[in-house]
Amino acid sequence: MSKLTLFAALMIAGFLGLQFSFIGQVTEFPADQIKNDQTNNSTKNQTIMKQTEKFEFQQLPYAYDALEPFIDKLTLEIHYGRHHKAYYDNFMNAIKGTEMESMDINDIFKNISKYPVAVRNNSGGYFNHTFYWKNMKANGGGKPTGKLAESIDKSFTSFDEFKKQFSDAGKTRFGSGWAWLSLDDKANLFVSSTPNQDNPLMDTAEKKGIPLLTMDVWEHAYYLKYQNKRPDYIEAFWNVINWEEVALRYEAALKNLGKK
Ligand code: MN
């Protein structure tokens, strides 16, 4: 098992552990809680999570209006409650009675090209949205600090240049998709975009890596407030980024690549 694969597995375990922890919560989750969950989730998954709870539809980590005025309440209600929920329901239907029901989602992603397109679209839609909700928060934005900030400066020359590349990845994604900041298996940061509901963990991705930050650029993510003006939504997105969450993902990724 490569280090990248190992880390991806741990990342997914964290994702599943977190979703179990947040059921019933509507308030923003504290960063130290995430850290604890990332530390303990393997044990937690083995001891308290039943297989059937593996792919839970997780509570939104904040209120629907928490990201106003940048992302409006109605958009968030529909995006989370209908779009994300539909991906979840369709994912559950697509894997019902198959080996995938008991598989780690990372193993599904690693072999996604071998599975039906309904699995590819809906497993991605399920995972990507949960990942996106968590890298946003009320009163977010600003700039990252510490090691992540240093690494962004090193990889992209400056935060502004990174912001430009990430924004451009979203703006130039034809049709629907996602923009990503990820870490490759050499621990280098890179920006990419994926079509539809694909993500950098999938074997179909042009550039594979561990995702750290994502931005949904499907029209349903912004159309009610911004109509066709995707660049305005992208500019607004920088005001809701949860850099503490992204930094935790980065630290965990480095640690598991043995670079820290
Ligand atoms: Mn979406």
User: 74-91 pLDDT, tens per residue?
Assistant: 999 999 999 999 999 999
Sorted by where each starts, the structural domains of the chain and their CATH numbers stand as: 3-134 (1.10.287.990), 146-257 (3.55.40.20)
Give residue for tokens 């594979």.
208
For the sheet with 177-183, list strands across it. Answer: 189-195, 177-183, 210-216
Q: What is the CA(157)–ligand 1 centre distance, in A?
A: 30
State the DSSP H helix or E strand holding residue 178, giving kind and residue range, or none if neither: strand 177-183
Task: Tell me how long the chain is.
Answer: 260
User: 193-213 pLDDT, tens per residue?
Assistant: 999 999 999 999 999 999 999
- The ranges of the chain with pLDDT < 70 are 1-53, 260
Q: Which pLDDT does position 257 carry in this prediction?
A: 87
Q: What is the CA(177)–ligand 1 centre distance, in A?
A: 8
Q: What is the CA(178)–ligand 1 centre distance, in A?
A: 9
Give residue for tokens 């990201």.
67
Q: What is the CA(240)–ligand 1 centre distance, in A?
A: 16
Q: What is the CA(132)–ligand 1 centre distance, in A?
A: 9
Q: What is the CA(41)–ligand 1 centre distance, in A?
A: 27
Distance between CA atoms of residues 96 and 108, nearest Å:
14
Q: What is the CA(89)–ligand 1 centre distance, in A?
A: 15
Whether the predicted model's global pTM rises above the 0.85 cut: no
Q: What is the CA(150)–ligand 1 centre distance, in A?
A: 30
Distance between CA atoms of residues 94 and 70, nearest Å:
34
